[in-house]
Structure 1
Amino acid sequence: MMEVGISTACLYPMETEQALSLVLEQGARTVEIFFNAENEYNITYLRRLQVLLARVGGTVSSIHPYTAAYESMMFFSDYPSRFADSVAQYRRTFAVAAFLGARAVVFHGARKDLQMSMVQYCERFGRLARAAREEGVLLAQENVSRCKCGSSENIAAMRKILGEDVQFVLDVKQVRRAGESLADMCAAMAGRIACVHLSDAAPGRDCLLPGAGETDLSVLHTRLAAQGFQGPLLIEVYRTGFLHFSELKTALSIANRVFSYE
């Protein structure tokens, strides 16, 4: 049985606290929280999120910082002191994740056009991942199509270089956008997937709620089950991908039927 939940990213640009409340109202008990501003890391705000979660027995599987958009410059430039500053900044992100009980922090990494070997990339990633472990969480590399690790080849390289010291986020939407094979991406990440970003697709629309497209989600279930993955799978689509909030509840029910059987 695999754990299925919803990411608050589905409701962007709704304010994060409100988005969490609404996601929980749709029946999600496992969530990914997408933080959108620095003020959301303050203790008062975080305690309000904890109250919302505690009311329904909800848990946070992972967090996704808005600073993912800047990670190429923060961690992969030729400016050493910026890297050091950015590691210190992300220690706060890691501490926030640990405070909320999350297991992982989602990482986009460097732009695809960055001229850097995978050995160098992994050295930087590894240093940041150690800082995450010191704060009690995992740093998980996502296969974002516009980034260096959008390809299964580079994901496989990370696995080879870093061994057991790497975790991944499998985003099926990004697999589609990169023109990659789901089989190849699952194989490259095998045994090291921290969570999955789940979506459906149809011709001309590559990011729909589960059940709203034409994807045979049971194929993904089979591939994940073969490597012993138990979850979580977080429904993550854009706000333009659905009209009514109740569609999230329907999608969660559909995903649970697909991924919650043995």
Structure 2
Amino acid sequence: MEIGLSSAVFYPNVKTENSIKLISDLGFLCAEVFLNSPFEYEVDYVKKLVEIKDKYKLEISSVHSFSSSFEPYLFDAYKRRRRDMLKFFEMVCKAGKLLGANCYTFHGMRLGPSDFISKELIHDVYNNLTYIAAENEIKLAQENVSWCMSSSIEYLRNLKENCRYPIYFTLDIKQAYRAGVNPMEYLEVMDTNLINFHINDRDDKHTCLLPGDGTVDFQSIFNKIKSLNYTGNAIMEVYSNNYKSYEDIKNSKKYLEKFI
């Protein structure tokens, strides 16, 4: 396990292509690449990212998309809309394959009324998505997100038990606490299908902080993850207003290394 960094920590101040060198310069050996616009899903652009990551010998363990623009509509009751949104999903999968990523961090359906959407439709969509991801040699990693259906333990359990192909998972600490759920509860469901880990901190006044700046019991979380024989990385994912300097990020990485 390595401590990695998400390119999202630099949004919106650093272009994605420039974030790769920056991540490497900060001493990280692996990263999650957050593709911030449909332009960044294009093959020619992704090939440039591949050249840069190869130059700096940075492992890209996962990709994340500008998900709110299309992922919720992959489950839309209107078939034509689902079909159109699938084009973006396929582009991100292909980008992930080119970058050598192991998984695609996925948000999926938003919380809200779903009168026109049945469980059968949800399962069918996931069956299609996981199949497309597998065709591109990456795994769909459903993230627990506080404002999405995936904030529900029961929803995640239902996917795991009823989808045709394996559902993998990304655990995000801040999203767990925002949903009012202990991260350990998510890990009970994710179990050995955990494939990606977003690590961040919190306290009574802040829902997202750099690891080491809050009160999260990382030792217990790492112990649990290790008991699941987790072989992925711990990707630091915070917001650009959660640190004052890049030195803060480096110090947070050093803090986390004692747990691995």
| Per-residue deviation, 1:237 | 0.4
When the two structures are superposed, what TM-score results if normalisation uses the length of structure 2? 0.93
When the two structures are superposed, what TM-score results if normalisation uses the length of structure 1? 0.92
Alignment deviations for residues 163-196 of structure 1 (CA, whole Å, 9 cap, x no partner): 7611111111100000012221100100111101
- Identity of paired residues, percent? 27
Aligned equivalent of 2:170: 169
- Structure 2 counterparts to residues 1-262 of structure 1, below 5 A: 2-13=1-12, 14-72=14-72, 74-115=73-114, 116-162=117-163, 165-258=166-259, 260=260
| Per-residue deviation, 1:70 | 3.2
One-letter amino acid matched to 1:85: D
Distance in structure 1 (CA, Å) of the matches to 2:239 and 2:196: 18
One-letter amino acid matched to 2:238: V
| Per-residue deviation, 1:114 | 3.5
Deviates more, 1:50-59 or 1:148-157: 50-59
User: Residues 112, 41 of structure 1: CA spacing in aligned structure 2 closer, same or farther, 3 A cutoff?
Assistant: closer
Distance in structure 2 (CA, Å) of the matches to 1:21 and 1:216: 31
Match of 1:200, SS state, is coil
Distance in structure 1 (CA, Å) of the matches to 2:45 and 2:254: 30
Calculate the aligned-residue CA RMSD, in Å: 1.6
Structure 1: stretches of 5+ with no match in the other structure: none
Structure 2: stretches of 5+ with no match in the other structure: none
User: Residues 186, 69 of structure 1: CA spacing in aligned structure 2 closer, same or farther, 3 A cutoff?
Assistant: farther
Match of 1:191, SS state, is helix
Deviates more, 1:113-122 or 1:170-179: 113-122
One-letter amino acid matched to 1:57: K
Distance in structure 2 (CA, Å) of the matches to 1:117 and 1:224: 33
Alignment deviations for residues 96-147 of structure 1 (CA, whole Å, 9 cap, x no partner): 1100100111111111114244443222112111111112211111111100
Residues 29, 56 of structure 1: 8 Å contact kept: no
One-letter amino acid matched to 1:5: G
Alignment deviations for residues 184-231 of structure 1 (CA, whole Å, 9 cap, x no partner): 110010011110110011111111111111212011101101111122
Q: When the two structures are aligned, how many residues end up with a matched partner?
A: 257
| Per-residue deviation, 1:233 | 1.2
4+ aligned runs moved over 4 Å, structure 1: none
Alignment deviations for residues 2-24 of structure 1 (CA, whole Å, 9 cap, x no partner): 22200000110021112222111
